[in-house]
Amino acid sequence: NFFLNSSQYFDEKLFDQILSRNKTKKVPKIFYGSRTHGQLEQVVKEFKKTAYSHKRMTILSSRKKTCIQETDKNKDKLCNELLDPRLKAKKCKYYNDDAKKKPTIFSKMDTPWDIEDLVSLGKEVGTCPYFGARVLMADAEIIFCPYNYILYPEIRDSMQINLRGNIVILDEAHNIENICREAATVDIRDDKLLIAVKECKHFLDMDYKSITYATIHEYLTDLIKFLNDIEVKDNDRNEMVSKHWVGAVFRELLNVNEIGCPRFPDFIAASKIAIDDFKQNMKEENSKKINPTISQESKKLLEYLCFGMQMIASDKVDDYRMCIVETNEFIEKVTENDWFSTTKKLTKVRTMILKCMNPAIVFEPLAHEVRSVILASGTLTPTVSYQSELGTKFSYIINPDHIIPKNQLYIRYIPQGLSGKPLKATYDQVNTWAFQDELGNLILQVCDAVPFGVLCFFSSYKAMNTIHNRWRNNGIWDKLSNLKTIFVEPKYEKDLNPVMKAYRRVIEESLSEQYQTVRGAIFFAVFRAKVAEGIDFSDNEARCVLAIGIPYLLQSSDVTMKMEYNNLNKSNESRQLLSGSEWYTVNAFRALNQAIGRCVRHKNDWGAVLLVDKRFELQQNINYLPKWVKTNVRLKISYIYNLQVLIIHLYYR
């Protein structure tokens, strides 16, 4: 395993002492993973309400959430600098020799606790909450963490997460296939290769471990030449891309260029020595005898490259597709003294991408290692692809009814607009004024009928912006703003928080007598983006959800490669993969189902879901919807009148 422990600053002795006390205990730990820290906060709130809230627990989270250094710097980078024994001038006062004796203080917190409690205690006693939470893992009965901590092998190793014989629960698991494929994908950038080459050259000039660093230097130099010699062509996405190779063909290409399998063993052995040297230097007890080592960035590069070599040399090679991508990026220029300058220069960067097509490479060994694995989500439907894609047989599949009574749900598909014109949100139709105007008038009617919050999802930012521009020119935008305050999901996650706060404030104000002119808000968002994937809109925050069309993935090279891979392997009866086209459809409806699940979040909630597209007239499309939707969905041309009747009944009950 070449994903060696990169969390080299952790006090392993203390962790091992606690583990040794628990060796006789046979009760498995529960690792509960969710997609985001925000979702974990919700889970912990629910955990507090259960009969098990007294059980020992911990929450593993990022340094961004738990580092108590008062700075605007990148917390991961800062932590590495402060704890690097080679940089003797810098130290972290919250994780020095004295502070390392304090993390056990966190075990005295009343359970259950949340990240705010952890950080507050860390500030009070002057010790690091990030490492304190990890110490608690040794004695915890349930561990909450983002699910990439569980699925990514290198993160598991660095966090010392041992899943063997334990129980894994993955909440919000509808994206699990894509996450596993990403976890097994390898990107190797030539600018990072150049840095590693310079470091190796430095060691060779010192005559330090010449055989080891000569082996690494020679191979990386040849790999850079190979990357630069490959022909690339414009793909109309501000990139230059090579052809794509099936795994075995790419392996042969490497062999022909004399950088293939015959050279892998020597390179991997040399890389392991370099990585072990780096780890040894990071141990504080050895800080007085610092030896020269590669940088942390180069260490990561070697780890990923070794993993890629393992895959290329194995029988899993055809589960990969390979290509070379060239982009223009502003990167920090490396100066002659081996340090980064602050000057950024527009540079061509070539990246070798080993793209994983088979999520089972990551998930199957994990499933064999654990005692039980549970995938949970309100929108796992359609479930047909999970067993085949993840290479795992699920003994139990439970698809329960929605907790909300049917008389509190109003679900309709809308195949046409108010004038009777069909509504079909395909790429061609979305760009026509006829569709844009018809949709705008429909949304005006919905906003006039529905109080408080309305969510409206589009297939892409481009489609949403195109339609909004039309509405600004034809008067629909002004009419809409007279009915509700308008919010639009920003493209970048960092900009979302203030928008969400403003939206929720307007919803709160619409309940107050002093804001009687305010009728609530409408939030325009995008399928698969932050709002659709991970934010709860309960009660008045979402009394209606509009889904505009079916969000099929853009036919990018990644999507095309995956579809071709599935078609190629569909005949393998032991795997039972979906065809490429069915996989494509399943992914579209999984994104749709996740978005419409943003409303009606608890048993006393109520609301409406409107599916706006003529294609919902087809039963084959209805079949891809979750049970709570397809058992309630109806066709209603006079949907506005019926919607008003429902709202009057529910709102004034």
**For the residues 478-489, what does the mean pLDDT come to?**
96
Residue 79, judged by CB atoms within 10 A of its CB (0-12, 13-18, 19+), counts as buried
Among 31-40, 196-205, 452-461, 474-483, which is the least confidently predicted range? 31-40
**For the residues 576-582, what does the mean pLDDT come to?**
93
pLDDT of 70 strictly over 60: yes
Q: Strands 372-375, 167-170: parallel, antiparallel or unpaired by DSSP? A: parallel
Q: Which of 219, 229, 228, 230 is nearest to 258 (CA)?
A: 219
Instruction: Please give the pLDDT value at position 51.
Output: 94
Residue bearing the bigger pLDDT, 344 or 361: 361
pLDDT of 449 strictly over 80: yes
Instruction: Please give the pLDDT value at position 538.
Output: 83
pLDDT of 636 strictly over 60: no
Question: Domain map of the chain by residue range?
Answer: 12-184+361-390, 186-357, 409-652
Q: Which two tokens stand for residue 459?
A: 């297939």
Instruction: Please give the pLDDT value at position 127.
Output: 87
Instruction: Please give the pLDDT value at position 420.
Output: 86
pLDDT of 489 strictly over 60: yes
- Are the C-beta atoms of 272 and 282 separated by less than 8 Å? no
Per residue in 286-321, pLDDT tens? 455 667 889 889 999 999 999 999 999 999 999 999
CA distances from 166 to 27, 157, 608 (A): 8, 16, 40
Instruction: Please give the pLDDT value at position 272.
Output: 96
Distance of CA 357 to the CA centre of its chain: 17
Q: Which two tokens stand for residue 426?
A: 């395909």
Q: Which of 529, 481, 480, 538 is nearest to 507 (CA)?
A: 538
Among 18-32, 206-220, 363-377, which is the least confidently predicted range? 18-32
**Is 409-652 in the same CATH topology as 12-184+361-390?**
yes
Q: Where are the beta strands (DSSP E) in 430-498?
A: 453-458, 485-488
pLDDT of 514 strictly over 70: no
**For the residues 40-47, what does the mean pLDDT come to?**
91
3-state secondary structure 103-169: HHHHHHCCCCCCHHHHHHHHHHHCCCHHHHHHHHHCCCCEEEEECHHHHCHHHHHHCCCCCCCCEEE
Q: Average model confidence (pLDDT) for the chain? A: 86
Percent of the chain with pLDDT over 90: 55
Separation between Cα atoms, residue 606 and residue 600, nearest integer Å:
6
Percent of the chain with pLDDT over 70: 87
Instruction: Please give the pLDDT value at position 536.
Output: 84
Residue 549 contacts by C-beta under 8 Å, 6 or more apart in sequence? 424, 425, 426, 430, 458, 459, 612, 613
Residue 365 contacts by C-beta under 8 Å, 6 or more apart in sequence? none
pLDDT of 217 strictly over 90: yes
| Domain 12-184+361-390 CATH class label | alpha beta
- For the whole model, what pTM was predicted? 0.87
Instruction: Please give the pLDDT value at position 20.
Output: 59
CA distances from 348 to 93, 131, 244, 489 (A): 41, 39, 20, 32
Task: Give the length of the chain.
Answer: 653
Angle at 223 between CA 267 and CA 192, to 5 degrees: 90
- Give yes or no for a cis peptide into 382 (omega within 30° of 0): yes
Separation between Cα atoms, residue 379 and residue 175, nearest integer Å:
10
- Are the C-beta atoms of 621 and 633 separated by less than 8 Å? no
- Evaluate whether the domain defined by 409-652 bears CATH number 3.40.50.300: yes
Among 39-53, 142-156, 277-291, 616-630, which is the least confidently predicted range? 277-291
pLDDT of 15 strictly over 90: no
pLDDT of 594 strictly over 70: yes
pLDDT of 516 strictly over 60: no
To which H or E segment does residue 519 belong?
none
pLDDT of 6 strictly over 50: no
Structure confidence at residue 653 as a pLDDT band (50, 70, 90): very low
CA distances from 477 to 419, 472, 483 (A): 19, 5, 10
Q: Strands 320-334, 240-241: parallel, antiparallel or unpaired by DSSP? A: antiparallel
**For the residues 227-242, what does the mean pLDDT come to?**
81
pLDDT of 1 strictly over 50: no
**For the residues 540-561, what does the mean pLDDT come to?**
93
Distance of CA 542 to the CA centre of its chain: 24
